[in-house]
Chains A and B, each alone.
Chain A
Amino acid sequence: MKMQNSNSGLSPIWNWKITALSFALLFVVGILAISFGPVSLNFVKIIRTLFGLPDGLTGQERTLLIDLRLPRALLAALVGAALATSGAVYQTVFRNPLADPYLLGAAAGAGLGATIAITSAGADLYSLLPIFSFFGAILAVLTSFFISGKFFAEPNSLLLSGIAVGSFATAVQTYLQQRNSSSLRPVYSWILGELTVANWQIVTWSSIYILIALVILITVSKQLDGLMLTDEEAYSLGINPNKLRVIAVVAATLATATAVSASGLIGFVGIVVPHLVRGITHRVTNRGLLTIALVGASFLVLADLGARTLLSPAELPIGVITAFVGAPFFLVVLRKKRLVTQ
C-alpha cells in the first residue's frame, strides 16, 4: 500500500506530525508563561505542584501560580485559539483572505456593550462588563444577519451589513464616551485588550463557550473546503452550502464574542495566525483548523508573557505586543510567500 502511495506522486492531505508539533509548542510556551514574570518560579516545582506531588511550591509562590499565572495563561490560550480559528473560518466563508473575526460587527458591538457598562452612572456595572460586551457582540452580529435579509444567499451582503452595523455601534460608543470623558481611559485600555482581569471564574465560563464553538468548527472543518467553491459545486459534492455557512458563522461568532468579552479587543491574531500556518504547512486553512487553534493559543500565551515581562513591573496592553511583533513578522512571511493572493 505504501508503494502505491508514493507512486501516485501526491503529497498527503494533512500531516498529523504538524498537529503533534503544535501541541508540543503550546505545552512549552505554556510552561514558559507560568514560570516567568516579575518573580520567576522553579520549573520542576511548578510541575510537582500541578500534579499534586510533594516538594512543590509553597505559600505565596503557590498562590501566584494557581490564582494568577495559571488562569491568565489559560485565558490567553483560549482567547488565542478562539480568535485564530474564527478568523480562519470567516476567511473561508466570506472567500476573503483579509476577513477577520471582528468583521460582522462583533468588535464594535462588544465595544459599545463595554462602554455602556463603564459609563453608566449610578450603578456599578463594571463587574458586569464581560456580560455587556458579550451581548453587545452577539446583538451586533444578529443585527447584521437581520439587515442582510437574504440570510446568506449572498455572503457579501452580510459583510456589508456587518460594516454598517459596526459603524453605527462605534458612533454610539463615541457619543457615550464624549459625554463621560472620565470613562475614556478605561474604555481605551479595554480596546487595546487586557488579560489582567483573568481569574478562574472568567476562565471557566469562557472555556465552556469557546470549547463548544471549537468542537463544532473542527467537526465541520473538512467540509468547509466546499465553501471555497461556488454554491453549485458545493451542492454537487454533497454539501448544503447555506446550512454549513450558518453553522460556521454562528460557532465562530460565539467564540469571538466570548473572547472579546473576556479580554477586550486583541487584534491581528485572527488574520496572522491562519496565514502563518498556511504559509508554513502549504495546506488549505480548513484542513488544519486544530493546528491553527493550537498555534493561535501559543501565539497569545507568548504575547502575554511579553506584555507582562518587557516593561516589568509595568504591563503593556497585549494588543500592542500582538501588533508590534506580529505585523513585521507577518510582512516578512508575506513578502517571501505572497500568501494573500494565492
Chain B
Amino acid sequence: MIKVEDLNVRLGHRNVLKDINVEIEDGKWTCLVGPNGAGKTTFLKALLGSQPYSGSICDSGVEVFRNHDRNVAFVPQHPQIPIGMSVSEYVMLGRSKRDGWGNESNKSRNLVADILRLTGLFGMQNQYVSQLSGGEMQRALIARALVQEPTLILLDEPTSALDLHHQIAVLNNIELLKERGVTIVSTMHDITLAAMYAEKIVVMQEGKVLLHGTSEFVIHSPELKAAFENRINVFTLESGRPVIVAKKDLGN
C-alpha cells in the first residue's frame, strides 16, 4: 500500500501538485487521468522518489525518497534512445540493480531471453534500439520493466504515441505485469482505455485530485464531466463496458 498524504510539489514558483491525498493499493492497476498540465507526470516522479516533495509518500510504511532498496520500474513517455545499444543490452539494463552494473548472471540472461519471447522481440535482440519502431520501442520498455521484477511500475502515457492495434498490444503486455502481482500506476489520456484496464482511476486537474475510486465509480460520476468541462459523453455498451466520447458540437 502506498499512502500519499498532503503531497505538495513546487517547481520554481508554480505549485504543480497541491494537497494530494490518495491510497494506492498493492497489486492493482491505478490510472491517473486528466488534461495536460494536471500534474500527472510530476505525481509519477514523486512516487518514484526522484522528485523532491513536501508531505508524505509512504510505500509499505517507509518514505519513498529514503528507501533506496525499493525496486520500482519507470517507463517514460519520451524515452532517450541510447546510441549503439542493442535491444538485448537495453532490456538487460533492467537487471542492473540486481546483478550489479556491468554484470550478467545466467539467470538474468535466461530471463531476458524469456521476456523477449513473451513481448515478441526475440529475433530483434541484436538490432540497435534506435532502429525500433514506436510500438517495438514501447514493448522494449515494458520488457525492461518486466525483467526488473519490480514491486511497483510507473508508466507515463504508455500508449500515447501508438495506433489502436499497438495500444492494445502494449496494454496487454502491462497486464502481464499485473498477473505477476506488480502494483501498476500509469497516466493515460484515453479514459475509455483507462476504464477498460485499470481498477482504480484518479482524476487530476490543475495539480489537485478531483475524484478517485474504482473505475466504475469514477466513470459514472458527474464530477468526471465537470473535470473535462462537460466536453464528454459517457455511454455504456451492451457488454456493460463504459465508453467515453468527446462532444463534437463544442461551443455551439
Chain A interface (Cβ < 8 Å from any Cβ of B): 1, 4-5, 7-14, 91, 95, 97, 221-223, 225-226, 228-233, 235-238, 278, 282-285, 287, 339-342
Would you list the 3 A-B pairs with minimal beta carbon distance, nearest first? A222-B102, A228-B82, A222-B101
Smallest Cβ-Cβ distance to A1: which chain B residue: B106
B80 touches A228 (CB 8 A): yes
B93 touches A229 (CB 8 A): yes
Chain B interface (Cβ < 8 Å from any Cβ of A): 44-45, 48-50, 68, 72-74, 76, 78-80, 82-86, 88-89, 92-94, 96-97, 101-102, 104, 106, 109-110, 112-113, 122, 125-126, 128, 130-131, 148, 154
B109 touches A5 (CB 8 A): yes
Q: Which residues in B have their C-beta under 8 angstroms from that of A221?
A: 102
B84 touches A284 (CB 8 A): yes
On whether A284 and B82 interact (CB within 8 A), knowing A9-B125, A223-B101, A237-B97, the answer reads: yes
Smallest Cβ-Cβ distance to A339: which chain B residue: B84
Q: What are 28 A-B contacts with C-beta separation under 8 Å?
A: A4-B109, A4-B110, A7-B113, A8-B109, A8-B110, A8-B112, A10-B88, A10-B125, A13-B104, A221-B102, A222-B101, A223-B101, A223-B102, A229-B80, A232-B76, A235-B49, A235-B50, A237-B94, A237-B148, A238-B68, A278-B84, A283-B84, A284-B82, A284-B83, A287-B102, A339-B84, A341-B83, A341-B130
Q: Which residues in A have their C-beta under 8 angstroms from that of B128?
A: 342
Instruction: Report the Cα distance A285→B85, complex, angstroms.
Output: 9
Residue of A14, A221, A229, A341 with most chain B CB atoms under a 10 A cut-off: A229
On whether A232 and B48 interact (CB within 8 A), knowing A7-B110, A13-B102, A237-B93, the answer reads: yes
Smallest Cβ-Cβ distance to B99: which chain A residue: A13
Instruction: Report the Cα distance A9→B131, complex, angstroms.
Output: 20
A284 touches B85 (CB 8 A): yes
Q: Which residues in B have their C-beta under 8 angstroms from that of A341?
A: 83, 130
A238 touches B83 (CB 8 A): no
Q: Which residues in B have their C-beta under 8 angstroms from that of A91?
A: 83
Q: Which residues in B have their C-beta under 8 angstroms from that of A233?
A: 74, 76, 79-80
Name A's interface SS. Answer: loop
Q: Which residues in A have their C-beta under 8 angstroms from that of B76?
A: 230, 232-233
Smallest Cβ-Cβ distance to B88: which chain A residue: A10
Instruction: Report the Cα distance A282→B148, complex, angstroms.
Output: 24
Smallest Cβ-Cβ distance to B150: which chain A residue: A236
Partner of A228, one of B85, B101, B125: B85
A236 touches B96 (CB 8 A): no
Q: Which residues in A have their C-beta under 8 angstroms from that of B125?
A: 9-10
A18 to chain B, nearest CB (A): 15
Residue of B68, B86, B94 with most chain A CB atoms under a 10 A cut-off: B86
On whether A231 and B50 interact (CB within 8 A), knowing A10-B88, A223-B101, the answer reads: yes
A241 to chain B, nearest CB (A): 9
Given contacts A13-B89, A237-B148, A342-B130, 19 further A-B contacts (CB under 8 A): A4-B109, A9-B122, A11-B88, A12-B104, A13-B92, A13-B104, A14-B102, A225-B85, A229-B79, A230-B78, A231-B50, A232-B48, A233-B74, A237-B97, A282-B86, A283-B84, A284-B85, A340-B83, A341-B130
Instruction: Report the Cα distance A225→B80, complex, angstroms.
Output: 12
Q: Which residues in A have their C-beta under 8 angstroms from that of B72?
A: 236
Instruction: Report the Cα distance A231→B50, complex, angstroms.
Output: 9
Q: Which residues in B have their C-beta under 8 angstroms from that of A342?
A: 83-84, 128, 130-131
Q: Which residues in A have their C-beta under 8 angstroms from that of B93?
A: 225-226, 229, 237
A170 to chain B, nearest CB (A): 29
Partner of A285, one of B73, B84, B88, B131: B84
Instruction: Report the Cα distance A10→B125, complex, angstroms.
Output: 7
Smallest Cβ-Cβ distance to B77: which chain A residue: A230
B79 touches A10 (CB 8 A): no
Instruction: Report the Cα distance A233→B85, complex, angstroms.
Output: 16
Q: Which residues in B have their C-beta under 8 angstroms from that of A238?
A: 68, 96-97
A236 touches B130 (CB 8 A): no
A230 touches B80 (CB 8 A): yes
Instruction: Report the Cα distance A92→B45, complex, angstroms.
Output: 23
